Each structure stands twice: as C-alpha cells, then as structure tokens.
Amino acid sequence: MRIDVVTIFPGYLAPLREALLGRAIEAGLVELGVHDLRDWTHDVHQAVDDSPYGGGPGMVMRPQVWGEALDAVLGEEPARLVVPTPAGRPFTQATAQAWAAEERLVFACGRYEGIDQRVVDAYADRGPVDEVSIGDYVLVGGEVAVLVMVEAVVRLLPGVLGNPVSAQEDSFSDGLLEGPAYTRPVSWRGLDVPDVLRSGNHAAIARWRRDRALERTAARRPDLLDALPPDALDRADRAF
Ligand SMILES: COc1cc(COC(=O)c2cn[nH]c2)cc(-c2cccnc2)c1
C-alpha cells in the first residue's frame, strides 16, 4: 500500500515514521509520502487560503493550490482520496478494514474552515473521494485525524502486527467493546485478578470474557448493541 499526505505542516506527520508504523515502512509493507502543500503555490506569500464567499468567520483553502498539488501527487495511478473533516461520514473499524485492501490512499489535510468544496467535487469523477470524521469535535487541521486513520489501517496490513490474530479479535470486530484485561501480579494494591482467568477452564473463561464485553458495551455504547445483527446474541448473551 502507498499512502500520500498533503499538508501545510509536514512535520505533524513525523510520528508515522516512528515505532510500529516506522518498521512497516522500513520493511516495505507500506510506502509513505508527505508533501508540503505550499510547494504548489506561486506567490511570494505562498498563500493557501482566502476569505469565504458569502462571508462568515475564518478562511477557506484555495482550490487552485489543492488542484495542482493533488494532480501532482495523484498522477495517473488510481487512489482513494480522503479528506478528514468534522462534516464527514464516521471513520470506523469497518472503514479501516475496507481501506486496508486499497492499493493507494491520498490524504488531504484541511486547515482553517476547510477546503473549497470544488476540490472534492472535481476529484469525485476521477475516483473515490471520502470526506470522513474521526469524531464529533473540531480540530485545527486534518493532520491529527490522518495519524489516527493511518495507524488504524496500517496495523491491519499483513505482516505489520506481530500477532495478526489480535487484528481479528479487535474491539468492534465482533461488534462489542473489549472487556477488561489482566496480567501479573495476581494481587496488586489489594486488587486481585478474577479467579476464572486462572482456572484453566477455557469455556468458563470465554463465557466470562463475553459477559464482561456485553456488560461494558451495554454500559458505555448501547448504540453498538442496538446495531448488532439479531443473530449476533445467543440466549446466554441475552442474560444481559
Ligand atoms: C477539511 O475541512 C476541515 C477539516 C478540519 C480538521 O478535521 C477535523 O477537525 C476533524 C476530523 N474528524 N473530526 C474532526 C477542520 C475543519 C474546521 C475547522 C474549524 C471550523 N469548522 C471546520 C474543516
């Protein structure tokens, strides 16, 4: 997979070259290109924004600069263009799973009040364009959202995670939140590891873990329970 990011703050994307993701890049599992949007400006001020038509607060990013940058970065290769924005569709584990199958992802990091809508419109007939949100809050720019989405996607690529099974057993992969996890020591500050986890009874352990996941999901994310397909919960599950 090749990932390109266009931003006015390339340094914001430096963490992508650290640790697990950095090793995936070094191992050739993923290629990463980070591009400075200002490289496609031609004026002495390297202006990337301008006042919004119709008035209103803040500035809007200019279409011409983005057009030259994305033409150059996208080239002729097909790619999914992703624009992080509070106004986007929710980015979920399902989105990450789908994008992990893509050959190319190109991320456009907006700042100010956003990017002139014609940029999204102009590229919509060249290939898939996704305006996506990582949550219901407003950031100053899309760069942090790109760090989140790239990590969620790249960890799913074959060979990136040491133990791939954990990608399948992720939170959300069975539609529920993960329950509590424990490790040594068995007693810590007067708090003990639940006995069942040390019983060696794998059926009881699986039941206990499922019950804790259902309990946590009902308490913290009832919306996820409502979204489960009807056959997802068996009779023992319905005890919750
Ligand atoms: C491309 O257009 C954007 C992008 C961003 C950065 O992304 C996020 O904030 C985000 C992404 N997922 N959840 C939040 C922010 C604005 C923005 C700023 C101020 C007022 N209104 C909108 C616009």
- Running along the chain, 240 residues long, what does each successive block of 10 average in pLDDT? 98 95 95 98 97 98 98 96 98 97 98 97 96 98 98 96 72 87 98 98 98 97 92 85
Pocket test of ligand 1: the residue of 139, 147, 149, 150 to mutate, having most ligand atoms within 8 Å of its CB, is 139
| Cβ-contact 165, 214 below 8 angstroms | no
* CATH code for the part of the protein at 2-154: 3.40.1280.10
- In words, the CATH class of domain 169-239 is mainly alpha
Q: Helix (H, G, I), strand (E, B), or coil: what is residue 144?
A: helix
Contact 114, 66 (CB under 8 A): no
- Which of 92, 121, 138, 140 gets mutated to test ligand 1 (max ligand atoms within 8 A of its CB)? 138
Q: What are phi and psi of 30, to 5 degrees?
A: -150, 145
Cα distances (Å, whole numbers) of residue 22 to 32, 107, 123, 145, 164? 10, 18, 30, 18, 18
Contact 133, 87 (CB under 8 A): yes
The full set of domain ranges for the chain reads 2-154, 169-239
Ligand 1 centroid distance, CA of 112 (Å):
8
Q: Report, as residue numbers or ranges, the catalytic residues.
A: 86, 113, 155, 170
Q: What is the pLDDT of residue 165?
A: 64
Q: Which two tokens stand for residue 209?
A: 């873990």
The pLDDT of residue 239 is 78
The pTM score is: 0.95
- Give yes or no on whether 2-154 and 169-239 have one common fold: no
